[in-house]
């Protein structure tokens, strides 16, 4: 059995607890228990969350765990020396050591991240770089895996991280079934941006929101200004003006962002050739997709796919 321990401490972020649901559903769908999930803390006993309720925990040092996940916290504080000692000692007995959001600071303070590639919430990256300049940190990944160390960007990204663990342990089919059970619309891979294209575009009016929702569901279709204006029930001229006022972007630039995001997800979750991905996401051909990726990331899609492969196989 895979034993998983979620490390909590006073004022831990309560959303950290959601990772437990992933392992619970994996047990249910697998047909027999494959994960044991335990809440642990430095000394055991009741631990108060950031939302004012407490949880019962076991002492971290009493047993070895296959996977240790350090919860996040809303305000950056200093972990106790005793907790750091417990983590350092426990890490030598564990296959995986993980963190959720600001939990990466705890792992760094415990001396577990030297030479590792990690991530955390983009808001906290500047502070992390200031405190731990020798650790390589990426501010635009949902999660990062480097050997024994797994780090998640934000609290909700902890579910993506846990799903990746299930996939690593028991295969992609079970991970997909768990995602469906949890009503997760889209399994997100490590390389996906922390900020979705729709959130960045952020239209205000119902009409523009309707047009962008239509665009996201119909990337292969004609998404010209005229087509989107028809969905929004505005004239093309009105639609272009309102769209730029609400988002600061042109409709064409916004559609390109949606297509890039969709193409990146397909590269992470499928083995389709780049030509197929370009067609399925509305770019039409490989060269148009290549130019869009160069504008967005400064690198072509094939290079990004090679980097994804290296990361997945423990070379990143």
Domain check: are 30 and 133 in the same one? yes
Q: How far is CA 101 from the centre of its chain?
A: 10
Domain check: are 52 and 84 in the same one? yes
pTM: 0.65
Domain boundary among 143, 169, 193: 193
pLDDT tens per residue, range 157-190:
788 899 999 999 999 889 888 988 887 745 554 4
Domain check: are 284 and 175 in the same one? no
pLDDT tens over the chain, length 316 residues: 899 999 999 989 898 999 999 999 999 999 899 999 999 998 899 999 988 999 999 998 766 899 999 998 877 677 888 889 888 888 888 999 999 988 999 999 999 999 899 998 888 888 899 999 999 988 777 888 999 999 988 777 788 899 999 999 999 889 888 988 887 745 554 445 444 555 556 677 888 888 888 888 899 999 999 999 999 999 999 999 999 998 888 999 999 988 988 888 788 767 788 899 999 999 999 999 999 999 888 888 888 777 665 655 544 4
Q: Contact at 8 Å (CB) between 79 and 50?
A: no
CATH number at residue 7: 3.40.50.880
pLDDT of residue 76: 65
For residue 273, the enclosing domain spans 196-313
Domain check: are 133 and 63 in the same one? yes
Give the chain's length. 316
Domain check: are 28 and 145 in the same one? yes
Catalytic site residues? 101
Domain check: are 139 and 14 in the same one? yes
Domain count across the chain: 2
CATH number at residue 287: 1.10.10.60
pLDDT of residue 197: 52
Please state, in angstroms and rounded to a whole number, the distance separating the CA atoms of residues 147 and 96: 8
Please state, in angstroms and rounded to a whole number, the distance separating the CA atoms of residues 104 and 70: 8
4 φ/ψ angles, rounded to the nearest 5 degrees: -120, 130
37 φ/ψ angles, rounded to the nearest 5 degrees: -115, 125
Domain check: are 172 and 210 in the same one? no
Domain check: are 15 and 143 in the same one? yes
What does DSSP say about strands 149-152 and 143-146: parallel, antiparallel, or unpaired? antiparallel
């Amino acid at each position: 059995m895979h034993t998983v321990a979620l490390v909590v401490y006073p004022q831990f972020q309560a959303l950290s607890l959601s990772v437990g649901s992933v392992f619970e559903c994996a047990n249910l769908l697998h047909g027999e228990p494959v994960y044991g999930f335990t809440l642990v803390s430095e000394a055991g006993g009741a631990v108060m969350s950031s939302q004012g309720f407490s949880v019962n925990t076991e002492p971290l040092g009493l047993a070895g765990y296959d996977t240790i996940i350090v919860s996040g916290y809303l305000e950056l504080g200093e972990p106790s020396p005793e907790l750091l000692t417990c983590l350092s000692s426990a890490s030598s007995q564990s296959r995986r050591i993980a963190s959720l959001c600001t939990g990466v600071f705890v792992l760094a303070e415990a001396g577990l991240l030297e030479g590792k590639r990690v991530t955390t919430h983009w808001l906290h990256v500047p502070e992390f770089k200031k405190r731990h300049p020798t650790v390589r940190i990426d501010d635009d990944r949902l999660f990062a895996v480097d050997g024994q160390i797994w780090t998640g960007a934000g609290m909700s990204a902890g579910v993506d991280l846990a799903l990746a663990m299930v996939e690593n342990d028991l295969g992609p089919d079970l991970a997909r079934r768990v995602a469906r059970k949890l009503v997760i619309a889209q399994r997100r891979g490590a390389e996906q941006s922390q900020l979705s294209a729709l959130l960045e575009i952020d239209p205000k009016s119902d009409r523009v929101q309707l047009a962008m929702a239509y665009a996201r569901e119909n990337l292969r279709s004609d998404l010209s200004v005229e087509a989107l204006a028809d969905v929004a029930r505005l004239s093309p001229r009105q639609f272009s003006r309102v769209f730029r006022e609400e988002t600061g972007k042109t409709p064409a630039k916004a559609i390109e962002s949606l297509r890039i995001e969709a193409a990146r997800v397909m590269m992470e979750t499928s083995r389709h050739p780049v030509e197929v991905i370009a067609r399925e996401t509305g770019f039409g051909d490989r060269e148009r997709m290549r130019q869009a990726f160069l504008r967005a990331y400064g690198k072509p899609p094939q290079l990004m796919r090679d980097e994804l492969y290296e990361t997945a196989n423990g070379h990143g």
